[in-house]
Structure 1
Amino acid sequence: MSRVKPFLRWAGGKTWLTKYIETFLPESFENYYEPFVGGGSMFLFLKSKGIIKKKAYLSDTNAELINAYRIIKSNSEDLINKLESFENNEKFYYKVRETTFDNNLENAARFIYLNKTSFNGIYRVNRKGIYNVPFGYRKIKDLFEFDNLLKVADQLQNTFFSVRDFKESCKKAKAKDLIFLDPPYTVAHENNGFVQYNQSIFSWENQIQLSKLSEKLNNDQIYFIITNAYHNSIKEIYTTGSKIPLIRSSTIGGKGAIRTNYKEILITNIEK
């Protein structure tokens, strides 16, 4: 099968890491868990390459995101029909942004549409929980890439979704399962532009909880791979597993943004 890409634009996505991830994987594993699924770049890479052979459990605290995955899996053709009626212009964008739909399919279409046409694909809501990202003025012909959307739907078979936090998501994992954890980064590191926004989503207390969870996973003989900011405070609280520095190249910001290299860290109990 040709390459399957994420169907969303997602800040902090790990497409760049897929080039190297096989270096860190165990020779084999049972089920796959991804509690911060986001745009799903890692899952789609591993599944489309046949590396995930059994069940996959994908979760996130963003209910709209998980609803979009479920609709793609179960009703991709009707979703595509709905998306075909959407227009990439400012007037239509704000009309959709201000509309509340009463069914899951229309809500999934709205979520994907806003992601594709908003400024930088950011997901942001105000204190009332209302999406408030401005129009992005993207001039792109194939906005939704329907062929790829159908490929994503194929990869979602034998995959199960839930809206829950990472602690709950990992409770059913057993020995020899693999958990990939890509939390929002919560400490300033090398001028990473995501950090200040993400502090309200994933607090330092959450970061400490995740570090303690990694100890439990290791004790239970569950494989884990955690990506995180390369920062002394992160290296100090994660006491289990190897800490491997990685360099990524990324553009953060809008038009005219400069492409910059950033150092991140991969923490894993998988011995190679």
Structure 2
Amino acid sequence: MICHINNSSKNLSILRYPGGKQRFIQNFSHLFPHNLNDIQYYVEPFLGGGAVFFHLNPKRAVLSDINSELIDLYQGIRKDPKVVWKLYCSYPDNKDGYYEIRNMNPEDLHLLERAARILYLNRTCFKGMWRYNTNGEFNVGYGGQDRRWVIDQKDLIDVAKRLKKADLKCSDFNAIIDESVDGDFLFLDPPYCPGQKEQLNEHYRYGIFAYPDQKRLANALKRATKRGVQWVMTNSSHPDIVKLYKKNRMFQPDIGTGSNPGQLSTNPGEVIIFSIKEEMF
């Protein structure tokens, strides 16, 4: 059964991320356990923009994403945010320059350069999209400079401080979930997709996060639940997805994540699913 809930400080987030949870966590933080600092590890298998992690600021975390460039970004900022910022500021502020930076081969760059490059591309590409071609090359078009200077060096320094408490991994979600143990808490925000019959090109690094992946995710969470792991997940409210979690508690919010970075929308087709015990709220 799906229960409906009603909802009416700037979150620390340096990325533009479609479907990001900047506004979500401000409206739905009450759905997370109050004793978050008492858990062993906070775990995110789909890190993305990391808005929930940065908002909750747990004392220990395992953060993972299958996108290696995203993990490079966070590792580079954690290592030296000031150098990453200096490189970021050195990049051009025009369309031709954007494509020059985009056409760089990440394998020819050191970690801090890779971090600055992908941060620049994210802040100046079209709508903050993350998309790759079949060769694994970032191929989103130019979007403009208006969102480039919304962040500053202090933001990167603050992000670096919080990332010092985290173990960053580039991995498929299945391995990360299977490593979790009793006492850990997972937050999951997978790419949303429809049911078995529909096809939606949601990019999961170089591929598509499709219904079989949703089934893998559901099975991994069932195994984790049996081990005593607690978790909260946002996902599509498509009937096929809901059916995978029919034994779990769910809320369908009146507002949810929009398609634009940080945006909330009405009637979002989104559910919040969780295994958390009642006394944890």
Matched residue, 1:114: 121
Change in Cα spacing, 1:152 to 1:218, as seen in structure 2 (3 Å) is same
CA distance in 1, matches of 2:63, 2:260: 28
Q: Which moved more, 1:177-186 or 1:163-172?
A: 163-172
- Equivalent residues, number: 259
CA distance in 2, matches of 1:37, 1:232: 25
- Equivalent of 1:86 in 91, 94, 99: 91
Instruction: State yes or no: 1:34 paired with 2:44.
Output: yes
Q: Normalising to structure 2: TM-score of the pair?
A: 0.85
CA distance in 2, matches of 1:248, 1:196: 24
CA distance in 1, matches of 2:221, 2:257: 27
Matched residue, 2:184: 177
- Equivalent of 1:71 in 71, 76, 80: 76
Change in Cα spacing, 1:217 to 1:106, as seen in structure 2 (3 Å) is same
Matched residue, 1:127: 134
1:151-230 matches, within 5 Å, as: 151-187=158-194, 195-198=200-203, 200-230=207-237
Matched residue, 1:248: 255
Matched residue, 1:262: 268
Question: Shift of residue 247 of structure 1?
Answer: 2.9
Matched residue, 1:45: 55
Matched residue, 1:22: 29
- Equivalent of 2:61 in 56, 61, 64: 56
Would you say the 8 A contact 1:4–1:151 is kept in 2?
A: no
Matched residue, 2:4: none
CA distance in 2, matches of 1:75, 1:117: 22
CA distance in 2, matches of 1:251, 1:27: 26
CA distance in 2, matches of 1:105, 1:141: 18
Aligned alpha-carbon RMSD (Å) = 2.4
Would you say the 8 A contact 2:81–2:153 is kept in 1?
A: no
CA distance in 1, matches of 2:65, 2:78: 16
CA distance in 1, matches of 2:191, 2:166: 23
Would you say the 8 A contact 1:82–1:109 is kept in 2?
A: yes
The ranges of structure 1 where at least 4 consecutive aligned residues each deviate by more than 6 angstroms after the TM superposition are none
CA distance in 2, matches of 1:133, 1:220: 41
Matched residue, 2:13: 6
Question: Percent same amino acid at aligned positions?
Answer: 29
Matched residue, 1:192: none
Would you say the 8 A contact 1:4–1:148 is kept in 2?
A: no
Question: Shift of residue 31 of structure 1?
Answer: 0.9
After superposition, the C-alpha distances for 1:218-251 in whole angstroms (9 at most, x for unaligned) are 1111101111011111111113420111133555
> Counterpart of 2:238 in structure 1: which amino acid?
H
CA distance in 2, matches of 1:157, 1:247: 36
Q: Which moved more, 1:156-165 or 1:17-26?
A: 17-26
> Counterpart of 2:41 in structure 1: which amino acid?
N
Matched residue, 1:234: 241
